Structure 1
């Protein structure tokens, strides 16, 4: 990636200015803080209590193998829920007006296997700025060579089946974070367009807290329970597969569904749209009326509101979503919603199939360009410039 991206259509900035003014007015009129309320603290206590209860039940050794596996799967799911509900808001600075509280809660990210400092760069800075822009948004680079989400990327034979195996690969997301991804990103020259110049203490934090994570979830079970090393390692794997499956699916359903755009910058490296308008075209809500989804997913089922107002705690998203939707209608912007989690899964599946199997078959019908080609690789489809997916989103 060499281009320096800019959002250049400042004439479109009126939408975000209006939406922000209306949202600010809502909080002022109701005398509400944009940060955590009592319900948010109750959620925090619930997920932390559930996580540590499951952990100590596993260490008790009271149960047989089948129950232990079930508890380990549940522990992985609760780890993801802590990430969604507590860490995500804390790292964005939206949990509390106190930076010390936010920083303290963000340290829970270390407990579940990830690095909050790196997440603040790759997610808060890069993903939230360059959402769905191939080559710039690393959040959509799930498994290079295996999963194709960029229409300009060449299609290989394996990717024909990505709609079949992608969901299984998502389960590896958390394991990759714990064992590989954070190390790789830390020592890259840059993440997206952000040049890496880490404070010295972050070198210590990276290795020290990774060791803590390995010790807590591999070392302690080995010391407390009568386990072989491979049994402890298997438990670690099961926990992270559950955590990764939950995390991977939720992040994909917010940006890789029918109706979302994957904009291509022009030759000068410019995105000819205002930043907020770009967010409206690249982001989707799913299961927005589901009480269960809203409780478990930390507001990530309302990604539109989150991308526009990341400094607002997610418990306020249902209320401000009505404001955002109405403002989007006034400015003739899309407001993509998928009514249910199941429908979002189906839409994501169709996206994977279209960008994999269907793209491969379409290219197979076209003559290969002159010159040697690597076996199994076909020329890319022409790049779309606005709305590459013509199938309407489910609402």
Structure 2
């Protein structure tokens, strides 16, 4: 599978070589693995345990309808946190040095309602390589025709309000994943400009079996065991996914679609005249980097710069890497974008959407 887009290190920068050496020295001097430590395993246990506890309480049929609605909200949040903290690291091969452990934990992505195989193509390969490049990185195509982030795209009249309605669309993200997105991406001939064909036969089986299992566990089984009508089950399922989608959507958008991040356009020769690592610095931003709460719940995705440069390092180590990466960026006079808090990043995202929704 070939992609014509190339990164050309026109400045001959040694930034990535230097920062990688510093990170390697850190792990060697500390005598630790770049993979999960005991604290990371405890996090994984907490989020998985919380998810199954809420699911069990919901199916126990021992609570009133309002309590069960609350459990649905909790399930949506914990599904997103499992995606951030467990699935994401495992699917990058960052959780463990053992591939079978990563595969096992990567399967937790099915609890989010998503397909791990499709994710590894769209996210690990396409998004991490061609970050924020219109026409290549489909992760920034939030809702084509409704939300505009590509400045070459014509402005439509309704997009002047996109800084308001975008957040409602984010809430639909996981519903789209469950019922539409994985199927569309799986059978699409190209994702961006990445050839997306000749999938292994077992992945066809996994796609459909896992989806049917998800529909059974979260729609059919509750209908069979709970004293609720079909429409009440539907409302609970909808609420769970609106919460899950909003959490997922916000965290991912605040890393790449905020003021200061760039959306590079390839040259006429089909190249980005920048080293890949420097491209990551220009297209990615951290938020709330000093917040232990954000780091715990967002699975290190509040430190997206470190994640994009070192996707195979477990996020539990990102706090220690932040200063190394930031200092190296300063040494090479390169940008290091960050918003001090979640809310300042949210405001920055809002302002950028507002700007991009209007003619230049």
Q: Same fold (TM over 0.5)?
A: yes
Following the alignment from structure 1 to structure 2, what is the Cα–Cα distance between the partners of residues 162 and 203?
36
Q: Which residue of 2 aligns with 1:42?
A: 42
Q: Which residue of 2 aligns with 1:140?
A: 140
Unpaired runs of at least 5, structure 1: 363-395
Q: TM-score, normalised by structure 2?
A: 0.98
Pairing of 1:33-182 with structure 2 (within 5 A): 33-182=33-182
Q: In 2, are the aligned partners of 1:13 and 1:276 still within 8 Å (CA)?
A: no
Pairing of 1:241-390 with structure 2 (within 5 A): 241-356=242-357, 359-360=358-359, 362=360
Following the alignment from structure 2 to structure 1, what is the Cα–Cα distance between the partners of residues 112 and 306?
26
Count of matched residue pairs:
358
Following the alignment from structure 2 to structure 1, what is the Cα–Cα distance between the partners of residues 226 and 331?
61
Structure 1 position 210 matched with structure 2 position 215: no
Q: In 1, are the aligned partners of 2:3 and 2:194 still within 8 Å (CA)?
A: no
Deviation string, structure 1 residues 316-360 (Cα, Å, up to 9, x no partner): 00001110001000100000110000100000000000000xx23
Q: In 2, are the aligned partners of 1:288 and 1:302 still within 8 Å (CA)?
A: yes
Q: In 2, are the aligned partners of 1:90 and 1:106 still within 8 Å (CA)?
A: yes
Q: Which residue of 1 aligns with 2:224?
A: 223
Following the alignment from structure 1 to structure 2, what is the Cα–Cα distance between the partners of residues 111 and 307?
24
Q: In 2, are the aligned partners of 1:121 and 1:194 still within 8 Å (CA)?
A: no
Q: TM-score, normalised by structure 1?
A: 0.89
Report the 3-state secondary structure (helix = DSSP H, G, I; strand = E; otherwise coil) of the residue aligned with 1:254.
helix
How large is the Cα RMSD of the aligned pairs?
1.2
Which 4+ runs in 1 deviate beyond 3 A?
10-13
Give 1:3 deviation, angstroms.
7.8
Q: In 2, are the aligned partners of 1:160 and 1:353 still within 8 Å (CA)?
A: yes
Q: In 2, are the aligned partners of 1:133 and 1:264 still within 8 Å (CA)?
A: yes
Following the alignment from structure 2 to structure 1, what is the Cα–Cα distance between the partners of residues 55 and 260?
41
Following the alignment from structure 1 to structure 2, what is the Cα–Cα distance between the partners of residues 191 and 208?
23
Unpaired runs of at least 5, structure 2: none
Following the alignment from structure 1 to structure 2, what is the Cα–Cα distance between the partners of residues 65 and 253?
34
Q: In 2, are the aligned partners of 1:276 and 1:308 still within 8 Å (CA)?
A: yes
Q: Which residue of 2 aligns with 1:26?
A: 26
Give 1:235 deviation, angstroms.
1.5
Following the alignment from structure 1 to structure 2, what is the Cα–Cα distance between the partners of residues 184 and 246?
23
Following the alignment from structure 2 to structure 1, what is the Cα–Cα distance between the partners of residues 164 and 87?
31
